[in-house]
Structure 1
């Protein structure tokens, strides 16, 4: 009986491993807006759905790391769905309090930007397989808001 179960398990694992899955790419992180208490950035994720039907997105988790430490994290619950046979653009808003940005003064330097790493977990509900999380990350530099951002 154990051999039969093992063979069935291997068969299912092999077949599910060959099933085409959606692909995602974290393409950009941009400054969106500044308020008096925080700066808001947005991560742009392009998700390609190979299926004819839309796929629900369960949640998107995020962590923003700068200067070797985590400065923002959170979850975007139920952000919608991925269109069938199409590429869907998802925008993940990340709010960073100014008090946290002020602690990164050494990294800011003369160019008024910070080095970052944005780490996302895109959890989707695939038929038959269930919840599937795609890990994504991007490193780069983001500009800090200037006074013109508040008054311009």
Structure 2
């Protein structure tokens, strides 16, 4: 009886391992808006759905790090759906206060940019399998707006 259960487990594990799963790619971080209380950043995740029906996205978790410090992190619960048999782009917006950006001045240095690592976990509800998390990561260099940009009248959408 034990060998029959082990064979059944092996069969199911093999079939699940070969099931097509959505694939995703992560774009770099960019500045979306600059305001008086901080900067609004965003990144896009493109997800290819191999199934003929749309899939719910359970959550997106993200962490932006620079100089071994967490600049921003959070969770977006229920961000939407991935359309059937095509690619869907999901936006990940987040805000960073200026006082925290100023604390990163050591990394910013003379070229006024931040070297970053952006980690994302995209959790999708797959049929039969259940929740499936796609880990994504990207590294890059983010040019910050200068003080002249700040005082030139750029407006924050939250003001």
Partner of 2:157: none
Distance 1:145 1:132 in 2: 37
- The equivalent of 1:77 in structure 2 is 77
CA shift for structure 1 position 3: 1.4
Q: TM-score, normalised by structure 2?
A: 0.91
Q: Number of residues paired by the alignment?
A: 152
Structure 2 CA distance for aligned equivalents of residues 10 and 145 of structure 1: 55
Tell me how far 1:145 sits from its aligned partner: 2.5
Whether 1:22 and 2:52 are equivalent positions in the alignment is no
Give 3-state SS (helix, strand or coil) of 1:31's partner. Answer: strand
Q: Distance in 2 between matches of 1:49 and 1:145?
A: 36
> Take 2:74 and 2:122, find their aligned partners in 1: how far apart are those partners?
12
CA contact (8 A) 1:28 1:45 kept: no
Q: TM-score, normalised by structure 1?
A: 0.95
Structure with greater proportional strand content: 1
Contact conserved, 1:39 with 1:145, CA < 8 A, in 2? no
Q: Displaced runs of 4+ in structure 1, greater than 4 A? A: none
Distance 2:150 2:80 in 1: 30
- Consecutive unaligned residues in structure 1, runs of 5 or more: none
